[in-house]
Amino acid sequence: MLYLADAAIGTGRGFMEVSSLGIPVLTINAYDNYPLLVTESNFEDVFKTNFSARNRMEKFDSNENLLNIERMIKEKNFYAHLSNFSLECYNKYFNVAKVLQEYTKVYENAKLGPDRYLRDIRSILRSFKSFYLSYKLLRNY
């Protein structure tokens, strides 16, 4: 039913699910009785603690937080900005489809890797063989 919400309060996985829908997210605020509206200025702080009750912000202003919540409700442009920010956070940090692409790259490189390493090892062994034969010839000379 999240898609029906204009905003949601989330922690951990709930935060990720809300942001996947491009819905502004609030999270638990250890410094205040009101939830914290997640914005660019506090995202990094609450991301460190997985948007949980352990949230700690370096700089927190309760009045500013309440004004931002009010702005989100009253100003369509600010609401749209927060919605976009929420979706950007999801795509940058939580979107599994992007991780799947990265894992695929790793596996593709791993498939190519042993052949490349074998070529390198063969080359090194040939160098040692040449060195050994040269050494043996020089020693007998």
At residue 4, the pLDDT reads 86
pLDDT in tens, 46-56: 888 888 888 77
Angstrom distance (rounded) from CA 75 to CA 45 = 25
At residue 40, the pLDDT reads 95
36 pLDDT above the threshold of 90: yes
Query: What band does 25 get if pLDDT is binned at 50, 70 and 90?
Result: very high
In this predicted model, which residue has the larger pLDDT, 49 or 71? 71
72 pLDDT above the threshold of 60: yes
- Antiparallel, parallel or unpaired: β 25-27 and 8-9: parallel
At residue 96, the pLDDT reads 80
105 pLDDT above the threshold of 90: no
Helix (H, G, I), strand (E, B) or coil at 107: helix
Amino acid at 18: V
Angstrom distance (rounded) from CA 25 to CA 58 = 19
